[in-house]
């Protein structure tokens, strides 16, 4: 067993996270028969729960370095099964510093010289999720590397390997780094004009990256509460996907057509920052309402500031092609760059007044722009569950009842409890319905999450599993997308959960199945009028899948029907 786990961990270390380049886990790494045992199958019944409205405030997901960030959607997403959606963002911003503008207070300026602060430009900056994975360590990240497994590869074909160009300081993407007509292989006096450049791979964009679109930013007039008054101000206020942005828009701050730029941003002469969505805002508004109000209490007290500048809305429209962006809104900043006098002679200096989104209220408003396919409603109402549809965002989850033969669940369990069996493994295997996935053009998630429908918490198998690599966790418990001989499926081990039902008389509670991301945390989001919650990673993940259900009548899929699989040793 130890050897198996070591093998799993070492191989999984090669894999990347759900929104990056991903290789599915080979089935041979997770053998079905880890113990010499017999196999029995038991029925599972399925019911669907559409997530037509869901909590979107403070969604958390893990990133490639195992940190956590607020991930919200912005843009439009096409889904032929669930219907198209458009996602907007509402966010609160607070000052990084409550100091005065310029170098002097207004009181000192009154007796000395007027600094005359003037806004030069205002930027709303929202970073992309990026990675700089360099598998062969040749100095060129994988997305640009012609062979990311060979450090001696020559991406620009100039006769000098990428690793050698890294060591020489030349550009591995340009055969003539300095543009003097002499190739890098022969040039002995090359100077790299891009020596300070950093390359990034951009993650978490779905659709046409080159699309143009209109973006609008408004100041809103609705105060965003931290705590819920209906719950005695003891619980965080929840904000939902059906939030009405139109009803609270106040002052227009930006309205323009743009495209995405994936290059690092160069600010001034020597400051370089990672690629980001960068939106110019109205300078006159910030001159009048911020800079000209220097010394006002609203700029010194965060509580007063939150009531004065209540937040912003960000909306997109008029896409030349569908594009959905998952952006790092926790790192969003609004930068007011202004110029001021440093002396009575009018010598100028420039600095920034920064509003920060870290730790503030942020959420998605998501609207359906086209209806779901009619087949989805039929699937929801079908008690036989020939298929299981799972979708993130405004999609659906499914509840699973184990040992449910539709007639006498208690009798079935009692019969099982009387058997002299030692349960070696209990698992659920969910096969992808490839025909349905192809029909609807679905972007299949790389992991599924199974959890307790009563407590809305992970199963004991999740809690007990401490296996992990640098990017994946809960390896034994599973839920990964596996591909074997052209067949794709997910396998989730629930051995401890089933043992507790059979041997310890634990309640056979309903389980919930949902799409998820890296499964590095189990934060849940509310669904109105339902006792069941959904994983926050599911809300932020625009992926969906159709699985083979327990009631399929398709002759080609009968062997893939959903069932609980028990591997046991009979005790004499």
Please say if the pLDDT value at position 336 is more than 70: yes
Of all residues in the chain, what percent carry a pLDDT higher than 70? 90
pLDDT, residue 408, reads 55
Which residues face 351 on adjacent strands?
Answer: 338
Which tokens in the block code for residue 40?
């029995």
- The predicted pLDDT at position 407 comes to 53
Residue 341 pLDDT > 60, yes or no?
yes
Residue range 481-498, pLDDT digits in tens? 999 988 999 999 999 999
pLDDT at 243 over 70: yes
Q: Nearest to residue 421, comparing CAs of 39, 43, 1?
A: 39
Residue 324 contacts residue 76 (beta carbons within 8 Å): yes
> Contact, 452 vs 509, CB < 8 A?
yes
Confidence band for 88, pLDDT divided at 50, 70 and 90 = very high
How many C-beta atoms surround the C-beta of residue 250 within 10 A? 14
CA-to-CA distance for 185 and 77, rounded, in angstroms?
Answer: 46
Tell the burial category of 446 from Cβ atoms under 10 Å away from its Cβ (0-12, 13-18, 19+).
buried
Question: In the prediction, which pLDDT does 422 show?
Answer: 92
Handedness of CA 423, 414, 388, 17 (dihedral sign): negative
Per the CB < 8 A criterion, the answer to whether 146 and 154 are in contact is yes
Average the pLDDT over each of 97-101, 222-226, 434-438, 441-445 and give the range with the smallest value: 97-101
Q: CA–CA separation, 227 vs 116, rounded Å?
A: 40
Residue ranges covered by each domain of the chain: 2-14+21-53+372-570, 88-130+201-368, 133-197
Q: Please say if the pLDDT value at position 412 is more than 90.
A: no
Predicted local confidence at residue 275, as pLDDT: 95
pLDDT in tens, 350-408: 999 999 999 899 999 999 999 999 999 999 988 788 999 999 999 999 999 998 766 55
* CA–CA distance, 77 with 57 (Å, rounded to integer): 20
Q: What is the pTM of this model?
A: 0.87
pLDDT higher than threshold 80 for residue 9: no
- Is the distance from CB of 206 to CB of 78 less than 8 angstroms? no
Convert the pLDDT of each residue in 138-189 to its tens digit: 889 888 889 988 989 999 999 999 899 889 999 999 998 888 899 988 988 8
**3-class secondary structure, 503:** helix
Strands 205-207 and 524-525 come out as: unpaired
Do 512 and 398 contact (CB within 8 A), yes or no? Answer: yes
Q: Determine how many CB atoms are found less than 10 A away from the CB of residue 481.
A: 20
């Amino acid at each position: 067993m130890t050897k198996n786990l070591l093998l799993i961990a070492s191989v999984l270390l090669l894999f990347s996270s759900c929104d990056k380049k991903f290789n599915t886990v080979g089935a041979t790494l997770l053998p079905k028969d880890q113990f010499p045992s017999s196999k029995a199958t038991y029925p599972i019944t399925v019911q669907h729960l559409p997530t037509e409205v869901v909590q979107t405030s403070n969604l958390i997901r893990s990133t490639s370095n195992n940190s956590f960030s607020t991930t919200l959607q912005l843009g439009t997403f096409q889904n032929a099964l669930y219907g198209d959606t458009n996602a907007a963002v509402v966010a609160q911003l607070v000052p990084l510093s409550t100091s005065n503008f310029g170098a002097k207070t207004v009181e000192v300026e009154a007796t000395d010289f007027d600094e005359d602060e003037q806004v030069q430009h205002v930027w709303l900056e929202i970073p992309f999720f990026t990675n700089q994975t360099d598998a062969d360590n040749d100095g060129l990240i994988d997305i640009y590397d012609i062979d990311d497994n060979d450090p001696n590869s020559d991406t620009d074909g100039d006769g000098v390997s990428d690793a050698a160009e890294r060591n020489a300081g030349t550009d591995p993407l340009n055969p003539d780094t300095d543009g003097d007509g002499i190739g890098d292989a022969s040039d002995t006096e090359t100077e790299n004009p891009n020596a300070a450049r950093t390359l990034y791979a951009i993650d978490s964009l779905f659709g046409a990256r080159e699309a143009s679109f209109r973006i609008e930013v408004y100041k809103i007039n609705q105060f965003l509460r931290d705590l819920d008054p209906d719950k005695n101000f003891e619980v965080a206020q929840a904000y939902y996907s059906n939030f009405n942005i139109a009803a609270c828009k106040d002052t227009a701050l930006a309205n323009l057509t743009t495209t995405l730029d994936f290059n690092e941003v160069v600010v001034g002469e020597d400051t370089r920052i990672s690629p980001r969505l960068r939106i110019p805002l109205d300078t006159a508004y910030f001159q009048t309402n911020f800079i000209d109000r220097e010394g006002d209490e609203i700029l010194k007290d965060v509580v007063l500031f939150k009531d004065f500048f209540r937040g912003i809305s960000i909306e997109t429209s008029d896409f030349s092609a569908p594009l959905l962006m998952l952006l790092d809104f926790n790192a969003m900043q609004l930068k007011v760059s202004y110029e001021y006098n440093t002396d009575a002679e009018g010598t100028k200096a420039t600095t920034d007044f920064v509003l920060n989104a870290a730790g503030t209220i942020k959420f998605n408003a998501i609207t359906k722009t086209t209806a779901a396919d009619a087949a989805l409603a039929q699937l929801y109402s079908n008690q036989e569950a020939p298929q299981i549809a799972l979708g993130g965002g405004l999609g659906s989850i499914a509840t699973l009842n184990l040992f449910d033969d539709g007639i006498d669940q208690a009798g079935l369990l009692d019969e099982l409890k009387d058997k002299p069996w030692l349960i070696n493994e209990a698992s659920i295997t969910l096969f992808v319905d490839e025909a349905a996935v192809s029909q609807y053009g679905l972007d299949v998630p790389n992991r599924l999450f199974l959890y307790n429908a009563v407590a809305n918490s992970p199963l004991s198998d999740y809690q007990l599993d401490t296996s992990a690599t640098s990017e994946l966790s809960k390896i034994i418990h599973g839920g990964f997308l596996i591909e074997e001989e052209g067949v794709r499926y997910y396998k989730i081990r629930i051995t401890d959960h089933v043992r507790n039902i059979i041997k310890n008389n634990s309640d056979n509670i309903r389980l919930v199945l949902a799409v998820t991301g890296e499964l590095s945390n189990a934060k849940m989001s509310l669904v109105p009028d339902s006792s069941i919650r959904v994983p926050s990673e599911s809300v932020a993940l625009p992926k969906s899948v159709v699985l083979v259900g327990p009631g399929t009548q398709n002759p080609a899929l009968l062997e893939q029907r959903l069932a609980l699989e028990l591997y046991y040793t009979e005790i004499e």
